[in-house]
Structure 1
Amino acid sequence: MKIEVKEVDSVKVIKLTGQVRISTQNEFKDLLDNVAKENEGKPVVISMDGVAYMNSAGLGIIIDTYKKFKEKKGRMILCNLTPDITKLFEVTRLDRFIEIYDTENEALASLN
């Protein structure tokens, strides 16, 4: 799993690249745990255009991270999902409560 972090108007934008599968899910969990811990009470945009595959454990990790942000009055916003990952969120109906935008610009605009 590769991570790139940048700031846009004091909002962290985290770009993920790689696959979330059995061999990488612990790394993915640690990564998102750290993101949640370091950004308590703040919004974070997670760009997932580089994530080509995600297993069910990856979905669980996303849900746990989303809850951590909610508990600390922050926001976790996803954007740039690939078609396969988008379908995964739709089938599991996670797209109904997790904020998901098509582009990074749309995700950042939602914060205004």
Structure 2
Amino acid sequence: MELTGRIETSNSEEWKEKIVAGMPAEGDYELECGTLTYISSAGVRIIISIYKQLKQRGSKLVMKNVTAPVMEILELTGVSDFVTVIR
């Protein structure tokens, strides 16, 4: 699943539906973040929710090609401590 642009309060429900719909039935879930420029607290909540669902079934959430601004938010919120982040 490719995340693009900005994930913020105004479009978070739309993004949540897309991300959930793209989740594989089994195995790890990779999110391509190379063109994701911003993620708000609403977006972070989505990431945490998906992470928890995957963890329950023994899978990982992998965020690939994370941009510097998004990485800063993931670090500030502590998400980078438990989600696999590849820059």
Q: TM-score, normalised by structure 1?
A: 0.71
Q: Which has the higher strand share?
A: 1
- Candidates 37, 41, 46, aligned match of 1:61: 46
Q: Which 5+ residue runs of structure 2 have no aligned equivalent?
A: none
Given residue 79 of structure 2, which amino acid in structure 1 is its aligned partner?
A: L
Q: Which 5+ residue runs of structure 1 have no aligned equivalent?
A: 1-13, 103-112
Residue 33, structure 1, aligned to residue 20, structure 2? yes
| Contact in 2 for aligned 1:16/1:50 (Cα 8 Å) | yes
- Whole-Å separation in 2 of the counterparts to 1:70 and 1:41: 11
Alignment coverage as a number of residue pairs = 87
Task: For residue 81 of structure 1, give the secondary structure of its aligned residue in structure 2.
Answer: coil
Given residue 2 of structure 2, which amino acid in structure 1 is its aligned partner?
A: K
Which runs of structure 2 are paired with 1:6-85 in the superposition (5 Å)?
Answer: 14-36=1-23, 39-85=24-70
After superposition, the C-alpha distances for 1:62-81 in whole angstroms (9 at most, x for unaligned) are 00001111112222101111
What is the CA RMSD across the aligned residues, in angstroms? 1.2
- Whole-Å separation in 2 of the counterparts to 1:70 and 1:34: 17
Q: Which has the higher helix share?
A: 2
**Which position in structure 2 is the counterpart of 1:98?**
83
Q: TM-score, normalised by structure 2?
A: 0.89
Once the two structures are aligned, what percentage of the paired residues are identical? 24
